[in-house]
Each structure stands twice: as C-alpha cells, then as structure tokens.
C-alpha cells in the first residue's frame, strides 16, 4: 500500500446505517480466551508460523498459504463456508504470463439466513491480504500481512463458540414463542429468530505491486473480487441485491504486529465504528487484559477526532479502494507511520512484537463480538 494525499470527499458523503448495538459487558471481555502459546508462535505449528514464508502469486508459497487456511477452517471450524474467487492477470514483470490471483471468502451466517438463500444476511467483513511482495528476495511480510491473517484465524475460532451458542438460543426461543402463538399467527408474520447478521473473512491475493504501485500494478485480487461482486445479481426478492451490498462494514487489517502502532481514524463515515473499537481498546487496557506496554498513545488514538479534522487528510491506498469506490463503508486498521520494517527483509517473524500481535487479536475479536451482539439474549 502507499500513502496518497488526495482527499476522498465524494466517498465520505454516502449514507450509513449504523447498528444499534449495546457495549459488550466486562464479563464478556474478560471471558475472551487469550491466544494460545502456539497460535502466534513464529517457529512451528499454530496459526502464524506456516504463513511466515514468501507467498508470491504463482509460486509454491501461495499454495502453501492457501492450504493452511483451508485446512484450519475445515478441521476446526467446519461451520464456516469456504469459497474461492479466482482470476488471472499479467503483471509488469510477468513477461506476458498470466499469474493466478485467488481470493478466499470464508463465511459464517445464522442458520435461518442460510436456509433462505444467498443475499439474505449482511456481513461484518474482516479482511487481510495473504500474498507477499516479490521483492526484496525472500521477503516474508510478517506484518504485511501474515500476522493480520493469523489474527483473523484466532478471531474466527474465538467468535464461533459465542455465535453457535447465541444462534441456538435464539432459535429455541423463537420456537417456544411460536408454539405459544400457535394458531394465532399467519405464515407471513413469522419472525426470524434474530438479526440477519453474519461474518465473512476475506483473505485477499495480489495486493502487492510487482514493479511499482500503480492503479493496474496492485490490488489484483481485490479489484477482481469487487468487480465480480458488483456484477453478481441475486434473485429479485432477496434483501440484498448483490454481495457488495451485503458488506455492512469492511474492516481491513494491514501492517499490524510491530511495537507501538498508531492507527488514525481515516474516514469520517466510519468514525463511529473506529470509536467503538477505540473504546474497547481502552476498556481492555484498563482491565489489564492487554499485554503491550502503553506507549505515549494507545493503538487507536483518534477516538476524539472532530468532524472538521477529517478533510484533506492523507489516505492509504490498499485493498479497500475498489470496495469503497462501490459504496462499502470502510474501517482501515493500518498504522501511520508504517512499521519501520515495511517492505524490507526485516519484516520477518523475529521482528514482530508478540504483545502487540496478541493485543490486536483481542481488540478486533472484542469488536466483532460486540458487533454481533452476542450477549443480547442473556447468558
């Protein structure tokens, strides 16, 4: 990704439907399981270590990373539905050869929306890119974006337990209520057991430029997926017209895992969501659940940013761009300044700050649990 300076005013103006959810309780925050010792271990096994290899599109590392994701979800989270969106393209350095760009889409939605067919649920959309940059030779991209991918795997495993419980409870309650009302209810008045809200994780390919960042040499996977989603049409009566409209919020994690990150609030339209995440970071710190030493500023330090301060600010070109251009609301979790190791051979496992990796995992997971309103129907 790279820093652009052009303001994006027209995109800030589109409307936003905010969800009316309540803050998650301290008990729920305390109950978020700490990442296991093996999860983010950099040497073997776990979620992260298998990703600490070069992952350039069209090379064996790409395939290994893909297998790691698919095996993890198949073995541990069989309820999460895996699909692919593949494309091919030439790059300025591929000599006319087509390279494969293969995005993974991993979804979990309430059982009742699944029954009603595609285009029914909205999705909190959590995103990271899994490809790595072709140069310098041997580049691993631990913060860029192996660690964010591993964080999303931890998140999926952690939220699954709460989602399964909540959805089962909501279905039981709905069934009991409908037995009570039996006879008094016409078919069309039947209510869904809970909100039609799910989660999807996008592991995107081909984010990095092959030669130097331009509109056509970057974001290969994201551009292809966004175009295809915009072009997909669901049946006429579906609540959502296409998969693009199902994105309730596009949360993009990038360049996470170095010590002392400071992540600005980039977009006024999603500042409310930034504030929710910042508030959760603050509560987790206060409860001494986070491990990283607080620097001069918290990770999310712009909770108090005012509307007037948004105009004319810098903006980081990244995988959200083709989605944002088509109307998605974006929360971009990327530090400014970038980590010191950015796009150098030093962006490897050894240079990760594990306390920060683990803290990001907790913060983004807490945000997701709060978004999904897991405590809504009691414990």
Positions that interact with ligand NAG (CB under 6 A): 66, 84, 86, 102, 227-228, 231
359 contacts Zn ion (rule: CB under 5 A): no
CB atoms within 10 A of CB 14: 11
Q: How far apart are the first and last CA of the chain?
A: 42
Helix (H, G, I), strand (E, B) or coil at 330: strand
CB of 231 to ligand NAG, least distance (A): 4
Q: How far apart are CA 241 and CA 259, in angstroms?
A: 42
Footprint (CB under 5 A) of Zn ion, residues 141-160: 144
Q: Which is nearer to ligand NAG, 128 or 256 (CB)?
A: 128
CA-based nearest residue to 81, from 108, 102, 104, 103: 108
What distance in Å separates the CA atoms of residue 63 and residue 57, rounded to the nearest whole number?
Answer: 9
Angle among Cα 285, 318, 154 to the nearest 5 degrees reads 45
Q: Is 254 in the site for Zn ion (CB under 5 A)?
A: no
**347 forms part of the interface with Zn ion (CB under 5 A):** no
Burial (0-12, 13-18, 19+ Cβ within 10 Å), 303 = middle
- Establish if 109 lies at the interface with Zn ion (CB under 5 A): no
- Are residues 273 and 302 in contact, defined by beta-carbon separation less than 8 angstroms? no
* Residue 138 contact partner, candidates ligand NAG, Zn ion, none, CB within 5 to 8 A by sort of partner: none
Between 9 and 63, whose beta carbon lies closer to ligand NAG?
63
CB 86, min distance to ligand NAG, A: 4
Q: Which does 216 bind (CB under 5 to 8 A by kind): Zn ion, ligand NAG, none?
A: none
> What are the two backbone dihedrals, phi and then psi, of residue 297, each rounded to the nearest 5 degrees?
-135, 150
97 binds, among Zn ion, ligand NAG, none (CB under 5 to 8 A by kind): none
**SS3 sequence, 255-299?**
CCCCCCCCECCCCHHHHHHHHHHHHHHHHHHHCCCCCCCCCCCCC
Q: Is the Cβ of residue 324 or residue 369 nearer to ligand NAG in the bound state?
A: 324
Using CA atoms, how far residue 353 sits from 135, 145, 188, 316, in Å, is 23, 14, 54, 23
- The active-site residue, picked from 254, 347, 348, 370, is 254
Dihedral of the alpha carbons of 347, 348, 349, 352, in degrees to the nearest 10: -10
Report the nearest approach of ligand NAG to the CB of residue 236 (Å): 17
Distance CA 47, CA 68 (A): 8
Residue 185 touches which member of ligand NAG, Zn ion, none, C-beta under 5-8 Å by kind: none
Q: 53 or 290: whose CB is closer to ligand NAG?
A: 53
Give me 259's structure tokens. 């010590």
- Asked about 294 being catalytic, the answer comes back as no
Q: Is 39 noted as a catalytic residue in this protein?
A: no
Q: How far is the CB of 140 from Zn ion (least distance, A)?
A: 11
Q: Which of ligand NAG, Zn ion, none does residue 144 bind to, with CB < 5 to 8 Å depending on kind?
A: Zn ion
Does residue 370 touch Zn ion according to CB under 5 A? no
Full DSSP string of 185-233: --GGGPPPSS--EEEEEEEE---S-SSS--SSSS-HHHHHHHHHHHH--
CA dist., res. 302 & res. 107, Å (int): 31
Pick the closer one to ligand NAG by CB: 130 or 315.
Answer: 130
Q: Based on the shown chain and the rule CB under 5 A, indicate whether residue 131 belongs to the binding site for Zn ion.
A: no
Candidates 144, 207, 319, 347; catalytic one: 207
Q: How far is the CB of 347 from Zn ion (least distance, A)?
A: 8
CB 243, min distance to ligand NAG, A: 13
11 touches which of ligand NAG, Zn ion, none (CB within 5 to 8 A by kind)? none
Minimal distance, residue 89 CB to ligand NAG, in Å: 12
Strand partners for 108: 199
Nearer to ligand NAG, 66 or 135 (CB): 66
Measured from the CB atom, is 67 or 376 closer to ligand NAG?
Answer: 67
Choosing among Zn ion, ligand NAG, none, which partner's interface includes residue 227 (Cβ < 5 to 8 Å by kind)? ligand NAG
Residue 158 CA to residue 164 CA, distance in Å, equals: 11
Catalytic residue list? 207, 254
> Applying CB under 5 A, which residues contact Zn ion?
144
């Amino acid at each position: 990704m790279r820093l652009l300076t052009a303001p994006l005013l027209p995109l800030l103006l589109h409307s936003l439907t905010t969800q009316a959810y309540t803050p998650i309780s301290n008990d729920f925050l305390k109950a978020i399981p700490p990442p296991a010792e093996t999860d983010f271990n950099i040497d073997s096994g776990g979620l992260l270590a298998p990703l600490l290899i070069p992952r350039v599109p069209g090379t064996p590392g790409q395939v290994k990373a893909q297998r790691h994701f698919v095996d993890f979800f198949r073995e541990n989270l069989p309820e999460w539905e895996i699909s692919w969106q593949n494309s091919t393209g030439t790059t300025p350095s591929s000599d006319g050869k087509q390279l494969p760009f293969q995005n993974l889409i991993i979804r979990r939605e309430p059982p009742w929306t699944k029954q009603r067919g595609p285009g029914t649920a909205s999705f909190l959309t959590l995103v990271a890119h899994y490809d790595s940059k072709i140069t310098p030779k041997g580049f691993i991209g631990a913060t860029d974006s192996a660690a964010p991918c591993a964080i999303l795997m931890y998140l999926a495993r952690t939220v699954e337990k709460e989602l399964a419980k909540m959805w089962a409870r909501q279905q039981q309650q709905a069934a009991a209520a409908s037995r009570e009302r039996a006879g008094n209810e016409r078919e069309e008045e039947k209510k869904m057991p809970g909100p039609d809200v799910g989660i999807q994780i996008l592991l995107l390919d081909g984010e990095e430029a092959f030669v130097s960042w331009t509109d056509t040499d970057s974001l290969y996977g994201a551009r292809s997926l966004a175009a295809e989603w915009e072009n997909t049409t669901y049946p006429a009566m579906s609540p959502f017209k296409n998969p693009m409209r199902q994105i309730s919020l596009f949360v993009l994690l990038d360049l996470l895992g170095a010590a002392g990150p400071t992540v600005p609030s980039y977009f006024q339209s999603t500042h409310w969501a930034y504030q929710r995440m910042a508030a959760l970071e603050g509560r987790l710190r206060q409860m001494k659940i986070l491990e990283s030493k607080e620097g001069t500023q918290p990770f999310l330090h712009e909770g108090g940013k005012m509307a007037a301060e948004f105009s004319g600010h810098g903006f980081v070109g990244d995988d959200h761009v083709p989605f944002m251009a088509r109307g998605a609301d974006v929360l971009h979790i990327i530090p400014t300044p970038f980590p010191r190791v950015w796009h150098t051979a030093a962006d490897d496992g050894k240079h990760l700050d594990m306390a920060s990796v683990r803290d990001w995992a907790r913060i983004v997971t807490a945000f997701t649990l709060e978004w999904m309103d897991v405590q809504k129907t009691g414990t």
